[in-house]
Each structure stands twice: as C-alpha cells, then as structure tokens.
Structure 1
Amino acid sequence: MHLRNLSALTRSTVVGVFVLLPFVASAEPVLQAFPRAELVQQVAADNADHGVVIGSIRRINNQLRAEREVRAAGDLLRRTWQIPDGHTADEAFRQAKGQLLERPHRVLFFCEGRECGSSSLWANQVLNFSRLYGPEDNQAYLALRLDEQPQRFVAIYSITRGNRRVYLHADEFVPEIPVEEDILPTPATLLKLLQADGVLELPEVVLENAVEQAAQPWVDVLVRMLRSDVRVRVRIDGAGAPALINALQAGGIHAQRLDIGQPDPASGIRITRL
C-alpha cells in the first residue's frame, strides 16, 4: 500500500521546540507522559488524511510502502517526549503500552528492533520527526485500536539514539467515520505479545460448542502463531476454550501443547504461555 505522509500538514505547524495546539474536546488524549519526560513536539490536525501503519514498511521506487495500513480522515494528535536520563526506551514503551492495554482494545501490529525496518523511514516519512532516527536495534513500534467512543487508533514508537537519548512518540487518531473493517493482528504480532507479556486477552473471540464462521479467521491466525514456534505451550481459558482447542488441533496443533483452563463466559478467550 502507498503511505502518504503528513509533512505538508504537520511540519509547517512546528515552530521552535514544540507547538501546543488544541485537540478535539470529545477525544481528550488517552496517553499520559512518562514521569518527568520532556515534551519536545506536539502537533494537532483536524480533518487529516492519515494512515496508521499496521505492518512492515519499506521503500520501493522511491515511494514508502506499508504492508498494511488503516487510512481515513479524522483528527490527529502527535506528541514526542524525551525520556529522562537513567531510564530506558523499554521502560518508556512498556509504561505507554500498559496504559493502552488497560482499555478495551485490539492490538494490530507490534515489532521490535530490526524487524521494524529502517529507523530513518519511521522517523522521516512515517512519524515526520527526524529526531526519532537512531540505531535500528533500539526501536519498537505498537499500533492498536481502542474500542470505545470515539473509536481511536493509537501508535507508539520508542528509540534510543546513538547519543543515548531516549524518545517516545505517540500518534492518537480519531476517524471522522469509524473504521468498520475487521483487521486482525498478524501471527507474528500475537506471538511477540504472548512472549513479552505471557498472556493474550482476546475478548472479541466468543465461541460456543463449535467454531462459528465469524471466529474462523481468529482460529486461522492462532494456528499460524502456534506453528511459527513449536516450543510454545499454552493454556486456554474461557467458555469457548474446548471449541477453540478442538479447532486448533484440527489445524495441526498437537494436543500436548494445549491445556484447558477455567470457563469464564465474560472473558472471551485468554491464552496464557506455559
């Protein structure tokens, strides 16, 4: 997919260290700054044509392309903080991620280090702030959708630059018209979250005695996730756990890798790494 940037929209509004512009009153920012972090850039734009990157990026024929993106018109808030000395990019990233995962959400894409691709592309063409450029081993990116009112897409990016300064960037995007497309995370993203946090909360995966057609795409993604690392064993909790385990076994996942947990009709599906 082509990924157009917002340079004409944002760079002309940044003067000096940062510019503070009002955001949509009905969509106050959800992300709180890391303690004692310095805000070095803030840009707000209404009716922005914005693409939320939810896949790998690369340059083809001098054009930036994203493997997947969500594109819509809406209100965009971009903020960048410099993290205090003595704190790591991982600390800042985890603090921001923790805030977001406490809200109803769907993670769409997660990458770390070199798997994210060129830091120069992220800094200069995706996030439009050159100060975010640094060694590619020292970056991380997460994009998710908050399933509340108004619908919001949030992306966070952390980097440790060559001079050891740490930055965290956040985009909060509120589409004018809610995006109805059902976008699932990639198997690699789910595996990384499971490895990083030890658990996957999937409240939207509701199963009965058998896997219904609406849930089959989730089953396919989970099968691919488990096939990508045969060492992973999991416990599955939720009212639909027996149906999901049967479906995963039908997809080729050995029964020895799957334990059944507790039924909980209010929780959807929870997958815990063992």
Structure 2
Amino acid sequence: MKSKIIKLNFFRVCGLICISLPSIAFSQASNFVDHPLIQGFPDSEIVEIEFEKDINYRVVLGSLQRTRGQVVPEASERLRGDVTKLTYEISPEFTGDDVYLFFQEQVVEKSYSELFTCTGSACGSSNYWANDIFRKRILYGPERNQFYLVMQSSADAEVVSFISLYIITRGNRRAYAHIEIIEVGGSIAPRNILDVSDLSSALLNKGSLILPGIEFREDDRLSSSTDLSFLVELLQNNPSKQFYLVTHVEGDAPLSDLMQRSITRANEVARRLIGMGVSAGQIIAEGVGPLAPRCGSGNCAEFVELVLQ
C-alpha cells in the first residue's frame, strides 16, 4: 500500500479534475490507492476507479428481483453527492468469505453503521448486480459466491457518507470486490427518500416486504424519527389490496411477553397509518414475537413486515 500522503494527494487531484468533468474513469489503476474512508483488502489490486460529481444516486438496501421487465430492490434510498467507485481484484489465495469478514470488521473498527447485508442467493441474481446495478460484467458470477454490504459513516463524521460493497468469486475463481462511496452533498434530491415504486413492485412480486426505517422506543411506541409517509403512499397507491402489518420482536423475555410487545407495536403502527389517511379496512395488525425470524436478508431480530393478503 502507498503512504497516506500519496492516498490523499490522489483524491485531491481526482477532485480537481472532476470539477470540469462530471464523470471520469481510470482502468488498470494498479498505481492508485484506497479511498480515505475505507481500506481495501490486503494484497488486492485496484483495477478500475471511477468518480462522478454531484449525482443522484440510489443506494440498494435489499435483495434484487425482476418485476415487469425491470430489476428492482426490496428497498432503496435516493441520495445526492459525489460518488467514487473502485474495483479490486483479490489475490487468489483468499476467498470471498475472507474479504467479507475483513470489511465487516472495518464496520466495527470505524464505528460505521451496517444498514443491510446479504450473502449467496438471498441477494438475488448476480447477473442483476453486475449488469443492472453496477454495470460491470466482470462482477458476474455464481450466486452462491456473492456478498453485499451497505454501511454508513459514524455520526460525528465531517461528511455523511454511505459505502456499498459487492464481492463476487467468478466461475474462473477470480475474486473481485467493488466499492461505491457516496459522500452526501448538493441540494436537488433530499437524503433518505425511499423509492416507493421499488417497494411496491417488490411487495406485489414477493407477497411480503420488510419495511425500512421503522424504529420503536423502549415503551414500544414509535420513535419520533420514524417517518411513515412512504408507507402511506405505498398503501394508497394500492387501494384495492389488503395487507397484514406484522411486527417481529426477539429478546430474553418469556414468549408471551414478546408476543404481546409485537402486537402492541403492530397496533401502534396501524393507528399512526390510519391517522395519516390510510383506510382502516386495508390493514390488519398482527404480532408474531420471535416465531418467524428472517435472516436471509440480514434481518433476524426486530422488524416490521407488510404481507399481502
């Protein structure tokens, strides 16, 4: 690895170049170094770097599926900012599991927040990730060999940043790690706007949807930071459909207590939705406590799910 001084100088030069060019790519970039926000895997080689300034970017926060001819994620957020994309080729003595564990450790070490993760077939088709999301054919490989991770910078960071990571081992056993860093800025698209059309398509296609961004206080009332406007829009866009609103709760308490807490949470969300204009006949609140964990998409403990009746 180059020294930290060289690392910072590269990104300063890249930034100056990109003032006049909205997008610039460097292939066969073996002399370039890591982005300051995240360390590349040891002994890996950067084979491509791309920078885009002040763009509207979609962060994928769920597995992928094709609906009505379009590839859509279970959940996503729209951000505006500067985007740096780096593709690493991994030394052949390491596996995708090694690379995935290395970056998960960085999440902890840097006090980043893990927003979503998946592995293997739970992520969806590798073809979708390679060709529809990242638009890099080199990232296509067997589904069982893929990993995806999204993280957010620590709360005290000078610039709010999001980092998405995709790892794949191709059929020829070459492994790659593709990283996209979004440094939030600009003013055209506000942060944390959920793509309701993506959510709706995923829900109707799969029959259920884990709802992002819903948090509760210790007394099981909704957190003041929870914004249900995306869910109101989703329901009102499908007025002829009826749904179960299901909450999941885990913990060390007796099963009866966990069941009651999950029912309380479901009723709390339902009341808020009805107060925001959703028809009471469109949703049925249910709680299942810890009885139906969903680990395949990185959700195993507490979450809220919308299920098509």
Normalising by structure 2, we get a TM-score of 0.56
Indicate whether 1:169 and 2:183 are aligned: no
1:117 to 111, 116, 124: 124
Counterpart residue type for residue 117 of structure 1: G
* CA deviation after TM superposition for structure 1 residue 61, in Å: 4.2
* CA deviation after TM superposition for structure 1 residue 248, in Å: 4.7
The one-character-per-residue Cα deviations of 1:164-218 (angstroms, maximum 9, x if unpaired) are 11111111101215725699xx99799xxxxxxxxxxxxx97855x33431797x
2:12: which partner in 1? none
Contact kept in structure 1, 2:127 and 2:141, CA below 8 Å: yes
Unmatched runs of 5 consecutive residues or more in structure 2: 1-21, 196-207, 227-245, 265-286, 292-300, 302-309
TM-aligned CA distance change 1:44 to 1:244, over 3 Å: farther
1:103: which partner in 2? 110
Max radius of gyration: which structure? 2
TM-aligned CA distance change 1:136 to 1:80, over 3 Å: same
Once residues 55 and 16 of structure 1 are traced to their aligned partners in structure 2, the CA distance between those partners, rounded to angstroms, is: 29
Contact kept in structure 1, 2:30 and 2:45, CA below 8 Å: no
2:160 to 141, 151, 159: 151
Once residues 20 and 53 of structure 1 are traced to their aligned partners in structure 2, the CA distance between those partners, rounded to angstroms, is: 30
Counterpart residue type for residue 29 of structure 2: F
2:72 to 41, 65, 73: 65
2:232: which partner in 1? none
Contact kept in structure 2, 1:54 and 1:70, CA below 8 Å: yes
Identity between Structure 1 and Structure 2 (%): 28
Secondary structure at the aligned position of 1:213 is classed as: coil
Contact kept in structure 1, 2:90 and 2:174, CA below 8 Å: yes
Contact kept in structure 1, 2:26 and 2:49, CA below 8 Å: no
Segment drifting more, 143-152 vs 30-39: 143-152
2:220 to 207, 211, 214: 211
TM-aligned CA distance change 1:211 to 1:60, over 3 Å: closer
Indicate whether 1:130 and 2:134 are aligned: no
TM-aligned CA distance change 1:114 to 1:189, over 3 Å: farther
1:34: which partner in 2? 41
1:17: which partner in 2? 28
TM-aligned CA distance change 1:254 to 1:48, over 3 Å: closer
Indicate whether 1:253 and 2:267 are aligned: no
Contact kept in structure 1, 2:248 and 2:290, CA below 8 Å: no
Aligned residues: 212
TM-aligned CA distance change 1:212 to 1:45, over 3 Å: same
Contact kept in structure 2, 1:75 and 1:175, CA below 8 Å: yes
1:139: which partner in 2? 146
Contact kept in structure 2, 1:113 and 1:139, CA below 8 Å: yes
Segment drifting more, 245-254 vs 125-134: 245-254
The one-character-per-residue Cα deviations of 1:22-43 (angstroms, maximum 9, x if unpaired) are 99xxxx6321011111111111
Secondary structure at the aligned position of 2:135 is classed as: coil
Unmatched runs of 5 consecutive residues or more in structure 1: 1-8, 191-203, 218-222, 227-232, 237-242, 256-270
Counterpart residue type for residue 134 of structure 1: G
Secondary structure at the aligned position of 2:191 is classed as: coil
* CA deviation after TM superposition for structure 1 residue 96, in Å: 1.1
Contact kept in structure 1, 2:107 and 2:114, CA below 8 Å: no
2:91: which partner in 1? 84
1:267: which partner in 2? none
User: How do residues 170-185 of structure 1 correspond to structure 2 at under 5 angstroms?
Assistant: 170-176=179-185, 179=191
Once residues 171 and 216 of structure 1 are traced to their aligned partners in structure 2, the CA distance between those partners, rounded to angstroms, is: 27
Secondary structure at the aligned position of 2:289 is classed as: coil
Contact kept in structure 2, 1:116 and 1:141, CA below 8 Å: yes
* CA deviation after TM superposition for structure 1 residue 253, in Å: 3.0
* CA deviation after TM superposition for structure 1 residue 49, in Å: 1.9
Contact kept in structure 1, 2:46 and 2:86, CA below 8 Å: yes
Once residues 220 and 108 of structure 2 are traced to their aligned partners in structure 1, the CA distance between those partners, rounded to angstroms, is: 26
